[in-house]
Protein backbone atom coordinates (compact mmCIF):
# COMPACT_ATOMS: atom_id res chain seq x y z
CA UNK A 1 0.00 0.00 0.00
CA UNK A 2 1.28 3.50 -0.78
CA UNK A 3 2.44 5.82 1.99
CA UNK A 4 0.49 8.96 2.77
CA UNK A 5 3.23 10.98 1.06
CA UNK A 6 2.79 8.85 -2.08
CA UNK A 7 -0.96 9.46 -1.98
CA UNK A 8 -0.18 13.17 -1.64
CA UNK A 9 2.15 13.14 -4.65
CA UNK A 10 -0.56 11.60 -6.86
CA UNK A 11 -3.44 13.71 -5.51
CA UNK A 12 -4.96 16.81 -7.10
CA UNK A 13 -4.55 20.24 -5.57
CA UNK A 14 -7.34 21.39 -3.27
CA UNK A 15 -7.94 24.26 -5.70
CA UNK A 16 -8.42 21.81 -8.58
CA UNK A 17 -10.59 19.58 -6.39
CA UNK A 18 -12.90 22.51 -5.57
CA UNK A 19 -13.01 23.58 -9.22
CA UNK A 20 -13.96 20.01 -10.19
CA UNK A 21 -16.76 19.67 -7.62
CA UNK A 22 -20.15 18.61 -8.97
CA UNK A 23 -22.06 18.69 -5.67
CA UNK A 24 -22.12 21.52 -3.08
CA UNK A 25 -19.66 23.52 -5.21
CA UNK A 26 -21.53 26.82 -5.06
CA UNK A 27 -22.07 26.43 -1.32
CA UNK A 28 -18.40 25.67 -0.69
CA UNK A 29 -17.30 28.67 -2.74
CA UNK A 30 -19.78 30.87 -0.83
CA UNK A 31 -17.99 29.90 2.39
CA UNK A 32 -14.59 30.34 0.77
CA UNK A 33 -15.52 33.83 -0.44
CA UNK A 34 -16.95 34.85 2.97
CA UNK A 35 -14.14 33.61 5.21
CA UNK A 36 -11.10 35.68 6.07
CA UNK A 37 -8.21 34.12 7.94
CA UNK A 38 -7.85 35.92 11.29
CA UNK A 39 -4.68 37.91 11.86
CA UNK A 40 -2.79 35.07 13.50
CA UNK A 41 0.92 35.52 12.98
CA UNK A 42 1.92 32.55 15.18
CA UNK A 43 -0.13 29.91 13.36
CA UNK A 44 0.62 31.16 9.86
CA UNK A 45 4.31 31.62 10.75
CA UNK A 46 4.55 28.05 12.08
CA UNK A 47 2.93 26.72 8.91
CA UNK A 48 5.25 28.77 6.69
CA UNK A 49 8.32 27.63 8.63
CA UNK A 50 7.44 23.93 8.84
CA UNK A 51 5.90 23.79 5.33
CA UNK A 52 3.90 20.61 5.90
CA UNK A 53 2.00 18.87 3.16
CA UNK A 54 -1.71 18.45 3.85
CA UNK A 55 -3.47 15.41 2.40
CA UNK A 56 -7.26 15.76 2.36
CA UNK A 57 -9.50 12.69 2.21
CA UNK A 58 -12.86 13.96 1.02
CA UNK A 59 -15.94 13.73 -1.22
CA UNK A 60 -17.86 16.68 -2.66
CA UNK A 61 -21.30 15.51 -1.49
CA UNK A 62 -20.23 15.87 2.17
CA UNK A 63 -21.54 18.90 4.08
CA UNK A 64 -18.60 18.91 6.48
CA UNK A 65 -16.19 18.88 3.53
CA UNK A 66 -18.16 21.73 1.94
CA UNK A 67 -17.34 23.88 4.98
CA UNK A 68 -13.96 22.61 6.13
CA UNK A 69 -12.25 22.44 2.74
CA UNK A 70 -13.13 26.08 2.05
CA UNK A 71 -11.60 27.14 5.38
CA UNK A 72 -8.54 24.93 4.83
CA UNK A 73 -7.96 26.43 1.40
CA UNK A 74 -7.88 29.93 2.92
CA UNK A 75 -5.39 28.79 5.59
CA UNK A 76 -3.18 27.17 2.95
CA UNK A 77 -3.22 30.28 0.79
CA UNK A 78 -2.29 32.50 3.75
CA UNK A 79 0.61 30.21 4.71
CA UNK A 80 1.72 29.25 1.22
CA UNK A 81 1.50 25.52 1.95
CA UNK A 82 0.50 22.76 -0.43
CA UNK A 83 -2.79 20.94 0.06
CA UNK A 84 -3.91 18.05 -2.11
CA UNK A 85 -7.07 15.98 -2.09
CA UNK A 86 -8.01 12.36 -2.73
CA UNK A 87 -11.50 10.91 -2.93
CA UNK A 88 -12.45 8.72 0.00
CA UNK A 89 -14.51 6.24 -2.01
CA UNK A 90 -11.60 5.63 -4.42
CA UNK A 91 -9.10 5.23 -1.57
CA UNK A 92 -10.73 3.00 1.05
CA UNK A 93 -7.36 1.50 2.06
CA UNK A 94 -6.28 5.00 3.07
CA UNK A 95 -9.45 6.11 4.88
CA UNK A 96 -9.63 2.78 6.70
CA UNK A 97 -6.42 3.77 8.51
CA UNK A 98 -8.09 6.96 9.77
CA UNK A 99 -11.57 5.94 10.89
CA UNK A 100 -13.58 8.16 13.21
CA UNK A 101 -15.53 6.15 15.78
CA UNK A 102 -15.25 3.15 13.45
CA UNK A 103 -16.67 5.02 10.45
CA UNK A 104 -15.28 6.50 7.25
CA UNK A 105 -16.20 10.05 8.25
CA UNK A 106 -14.79 12.85 6.14
CA UNK A 107 -13.08 15.12 5.57
CA UNK A 108 -9.86 13.95 7.18
CA UNK A 109 -6.77 16.14 7.00
CA UNK A 110 -3.38 14.48 7.36
CA UNK A 111 -0.47 16.71 8.31
CA UNK A 112 2.69 15.32 6.68
CA UNK A 113 6.13 16.59 7.68
CA UNK A 114 9.17 17.02 5.43
CA UNK A 115 10.22 13.42 6.12
CA UNK A 116 6.90 12.16 4.73
CA UNK A 117 5.60 11.17 8.17
CA UNK A 118 2.05 11.84 9.34
CA UNK A 119 2.42 14.08 12.39
CA UNK A 120 -1.22 15.08 12.79
CA UNK A 121 -4.78 14.26 11.83
CA UNK A 122 -7.76 16.58 11.91
CA UNK A 123 -11.39 15.99 11.07
CA UNK A 124 -14.08 15.40 10.28
CA UNK A 125 -15.71 18.18 12.29
CA UNK A 126 -14.88 21.01 14.69
CA UNK A 127 -16.13 20.44 18.24
CA UNK A 128 -18.60 23.36 18.12
CA UNK A 129 -20.11 22.02 14.90
CA UNK A 130 -20.20 18.50 16.36
CA UNK A 131 -22.20 19.78 19.34
CA UNK A 132 -24.71 21.44 17.00
CA UNK A 133 -25.10 18.24 14.97
CA UNK A 134 -25.39 16.04 18.07
CA UNK A 135 -28.09 18.28 19.57
CA UNK A 136 -30.02 18.26 16.31
CA UNK A 137 -29.88 14.48 16.07
CA UNK A 138 -30.99 14.11 19.69
CA UNK A 139 -34.17 16.01 18.82
CA UNK A 140 -35.09 13.60 16.04
CA UNK A 141 -37.63 10.88 16.80
CA UNK A 142 -36.64 7.22 16.64
CA UNK A 143 -36.07 5.73 13.18
CA UNK A 144 -39.30 3.76 13.57
CA UNK A 145 -41.33 6.97 13.89
CA UNK A 146 -43.30 7.67 10.67
CA UNK A 147 -42.09 11.29 10.67
CA UNK A 148 -38.39 10.39 11.08
CA UNK A 149 -37.35 10.66 7.42
CA UNK A 150 -39.15 13.97 6.90
CA UNK A 151 -37.72 15.47 10.10
CA UNK A 152 -34.23 14.16 9.37
CA UNK A 153 -34.33 15.70 5.89
CA UNK A 154 -35.43 19.04 7.37
CA UNK A 155 -32.63 18.85 9.94
CA UNK A 156 -30.01 18.17 7.26
CA UNK A 157 -31.28 21.12 5.23
CA UNK A 158 -31.08 23.35 8.32
CA UNK A 159 -27.62 22.00 9.14
CA UNK A 160 -26.35 22.74 5.61
CA UNK A 161 -27.72 26.29 5.82
CA UNK A 162 -26.00 26.79 9.18
CA UNK A 163 -22.70 25.45 7.85
CA UNK A 164 -22.86 27.93 4.97
CA UNK A 165 -24.12 31.01 6.83
CA UNK A 166 -22.94 30.70 10.45
CA UNK A 167 -19.67 32.62 10.67
CA UNK A 168 -19.16 31.29 14.22
CA UNK A 169 -18.92 27.80 12.71
CA UNK A 170 -16.42 29.04 10.11
CA UNK A 171 -14.25 30.49 12.88
CA UNK A 172 -14.69 27.34 15.00
CA UNK A 173 -13.31 25.21 12.15
CA UNK A 174 -10.34 27.56 11.80
CA UNK A 175 -9.65 27.55 15.55
CA UNK A 176 -9.97 23.76 15.82
CA UNK A 177 -7.54 23.21 12.93
CA UNK A 178 -5.21 25.89 14.35
CA UNK A 179 -5.07 24.36 17.83
CA UNK A 180 -4.64 20.81 16.51
CA UNK A 181 -1.88 21.68 14.07
CA UNK A 182 0.03 24.02 16.38
CA UNK A 183 0.22 21.20 18.90
CA UNK A 184 1.32 18.69 16.24
CA UNK A 185 3.92 20.97 14.66
CA UNK A 186 5.42 22.33 17.88
CA UNK A 187 6.13 18.92 19.41
pLDDT at residue 32, as a whole number: 98
The yes-or-no verdict on residue 40 having pLDDT over 80 is: no
Convert the pLDDT of each residue in 117-162 to its tens digit.
999 999 999 999 999 999 999 999 999 999 999 999 999 999 999 9
CATH number at residue 31: 3.40.30.10
**Residue 12 confidence class, pLDDT cut points 50, 70, 90:** very high
Is 141 part of a structural domain of the chain?
Answer: no
Is 113 part of a structural domain of the chain?
Answer: yes
Tell me the residue ranges of DSSP E strands in the chain. Answer: 12-13, 53-58, 82-87, 108-112, 118-122
pLDDT at residue 1, as a whole number: 85
The yes-or-no verdict on residue 41 having pLDDT over 80 is: no
Give the total number of structural domains in the chain.
1
Is 76 part of a structural domain of the chain?
Answer: yes
Task: Please give the order of strands across the beta sheet that includes 82-87.
Answer: 12-13, 82-87, 53-58, 108-112, 118-122
Question: Over pLDDT 90: what percentage of the chain?
Answer: 96
pLDDT at residue 94, as a whole number: 97
Range of the domain at 95: 4-125+168-185
Is 159 part of a structural domain of the chain?
Answer: no
Is 120 part of a structural domain of the chain?
Answer: yes
Is 20 part of a structural domain of the chain?
Answer: yes
Amino acid sequence: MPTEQQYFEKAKSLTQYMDDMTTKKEESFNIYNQFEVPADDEFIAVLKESAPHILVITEDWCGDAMLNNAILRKIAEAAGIEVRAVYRDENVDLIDQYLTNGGRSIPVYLLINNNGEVVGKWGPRAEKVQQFVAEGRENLPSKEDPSFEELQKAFYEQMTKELIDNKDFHLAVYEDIRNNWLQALQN
